């Protein structure tokens, strides 16, 4: 249901007439159209409920078929610049990983060095992994570290091969530790207005699940 709700704005983009009498709801939709099809709003934070569900490092991730990607880009040139934000792959045809390269970092200027860290709810699919490998091979001045909550389809030989290729292209793939989840919570998750920032509450099996995935990843790589 959540997904259906969030896809609504795209109807407005499909050239539906703008009915003024629909009032507020419609205005909001029209406003959404000014944004690229991917809602990349730097500084915007993801709702806590999404974080608690999507980032859980559970083994059986039913219903968690959406990728949330929080990113930090450090650009080193004459001056170092850091930017951060998050994107999710609900609002576009592309997965979040590919959208990152298409919209947030479409080109790496050869005179600059980019250190990019992603905090992603799950590891990339084969297609995204291949795109990551290709991008890193093309841009030697791009360093990418991907911190993942859980491994996606890691038992598939094709997936394992894709992850190995990513590693050989220089991508650092890491499983998120409890401290990393806390970092995302503090830096990328909405805090209730007017309240003091709530402390991150680790879920029961966060440490065991981290260890489980870390062992799997070590075996693959």
Higher pLDDT, 135 or 121: 135
pLDDT exceeds 70 at position 133: yes
DSSP conformation letters of 179-209: HHHHHHHHHHB---TTSPPPPP---TTHHHH
Higher pLDDT, 173 or 61: 173
What mean pLDDT do residues 158-167 have? 97
Of the residues 33, 97, 193, 214, only one is catalytic, namely 97
The CATH architecture to which 41-190+200-220 belongs is 3-Layer(aba) Sandwich (3.40)
pLDDT exceeds 70 at position 215: yes
pLDDT confidence of residue 41: 45
pLDDT confidence of residue 191: 76
* Average pLDDT across the chain, whole number: 78
State yes or no: is 90 an active-site residue: no
pLDDT confidence of residue 18: 41
What mean pLDDT do residues 66-73 have? 85
**Share of residues in the chain with pLDDT > 70 (%):** 68
- Name which of 136, 152, 154 is nearest 144 in CA terms: 136
pLDDT exceeds 90 at position 214: yes
Residues with Cβ within 8 Å of residue 206, at least 6 apart in sequence: 57, 178, 181
What mean pLDDT do residues 2-31 have? 40
pLDDT exceeds 80 at position 32: no
For 50, which DSSP code?
H
Rounded to two decimals, the pTM is: 0.75
pLDDT confidence of residue 147: 97
What mean pLDDT do residues 121-141 have? 94
What mean pLDDT do residues 106-133 have? 93
Higher pLDDT, 143 or 19: 143
What mean pLDDT do residues 23-32 have? 39
DSSP SS3 for 98: helix
Q: Is the dihedral of CA 189, 194, 197, 198 positive or negative?
A: negative
pLDDT confidence of residue 53: 63
């Amino acid at each position: 249901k959540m997904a259906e709700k969030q896809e609504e704005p795209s109807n407005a983009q499909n050239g539906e007439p703008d009915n003024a009498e629909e009032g507020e709801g419609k205005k909001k939709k029209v406003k959404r159209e000014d944004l690229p099809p991917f809602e990349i709003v730097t500084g915007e934070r993801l709702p806590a409920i999404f974080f608690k569900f999507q980032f859980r490092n559970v083994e059986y991730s039913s219903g968690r078929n959406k990728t949330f990607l929080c990113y930090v880009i450090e650009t080193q040139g004459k001056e170092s610049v850091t930017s951060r934000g998050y994107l999710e792959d609900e609002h576009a045809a592309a997965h979040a990983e590919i959208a990152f390269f298409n919209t947030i970092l479409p080109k790496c200027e050869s005179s600059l060095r980019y250190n990019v860290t992603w905090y992603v709810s799950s590891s990339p699919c084969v297609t995204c992994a291949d795109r990551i490998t290709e991008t890193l091979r093309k841009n030697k001045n791009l360093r990418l570290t991907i911190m993942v909550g859980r491994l996606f389809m890691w038992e598939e030989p094709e997936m394992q091969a894709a992850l190995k290729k990513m590693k050989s292209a220089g991508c650092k793939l890491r499983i998120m530790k409890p401290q990393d989840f806390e970092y995302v919570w503090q830096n990328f998750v909405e805090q209730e207005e007017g309240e003091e920032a709530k402390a991150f509450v680790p879920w029961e099996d966060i440490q065991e699940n981290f260890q489980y995935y870390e062992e799997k990843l070590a075996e693959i790589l």
